[in-house]
Amino acid sequence: MPPAGEQRGDLRSISGSDNDDFSTILGNQVIQALWREPCDSDELTQLMQAALAAMIGMKPRDELEGMLIAQLIAIHNAAMECYRRAMIGEQTFEARRENLNQAHKLSRTYAALTEALDHHRGKGQQRITVEHVNVHAGGQAIVGAVTAGGESSQKSEEQTHATRDITHEPGIPMRSPDPEWETMPIAAGARKTAV
């Protein structure tokens, strides 16, 4: 981490916060969460720089994004360590399976956090704009929101009435060219009999 006493807000690119104390703590939490086998100071410096570069590269815009990004980095490193351990040849089947199970859980958590970050950034919503529609003779087009499954009963009822009004004109009976098949009125309540 940069030395104390720097101008306030200089570490915003790490955490998304104008508070350098918050940024320092968050950066240190990420570094402490990394798996570090015994290594020399050059390797440790490289590890710290890589973690901070990842935080900066994800461009946190506020403290919430900074914390999500910190967790993403920690989870990624933990998952990779579980994958590494699962590949060690001198272990039992159960140990390999447990490492792979943990890596799988960590990977699912990583995906959920990525989705949460995208949602917070407004990337989780899609918007589609239709510029031009051609409907040829005999075709049908729907204009408006289309949802699969249940739709509101009011909207469905309005569409049913609209369709009935368009397709049926009750005042004019249809005539048949054959006079035997002319329409015959049926009294209300009368039962129809099979012919």
Q: How far is CA 115 from CA 19, 95, 101, in A?
A: 26, 30, 21
| C-alpha closest to that of 117 among 148, 76, 89, 153 | 76
- The 10s digit of each residue's pLDDT in 36-84 is 777 778 888 888 899 999 999 999 999 999 999 999 999 999 999 999 9
Give start and end residues of each alpha helix (H) in the chain.
12-15, 20-33, 41-57, 63-86, 93-120, 153-167
Dist. CA 135–CA 179, nearest whole Å: 39
Residue type present at position 131: E
Averaged over 86-96, what is the pLDDT?
93
The CA dihedral of 45, 50, 54, 57, to the nearest 10 degrees, is 90
Residues above pLDDT 70, as percent of the chain = 65
pLDDT above 60 for 163: no
Dist. CA 173–CA 156, nearest whole Å: 27
| C-alpha closest to that of 86 among 103, 108, 72 | 103
Half-sphere exposure of 11 (CA within 13 A, CB side): 23
Q: How far is CA 66 from CA 52, 74, 160, in A?
A: 11, 12, 52
Averaged over 17-32, what is the pLDDT?
93
Query: 5 pLDDT band (50/70/90 cuts)?
Result: very low
Computed over every residue of the chain, the mean pLDDT equals 79
Greater confidence (114 vs 175) lies with 114
Q: How far is CA 156 from CA 120, 143, 150, 190, in A?
A: 34, 14, 10, 31
Dist. CA 131–CA 61, nearest whole Å: 33
Query: 135 pLDDT band (50/70/90 cuts)?
Result: confident
pLDDT above 80 for 6: no
Averaged over 89-95, what is the pLDDT?
93
Supply the DSSP symbol for 131: -
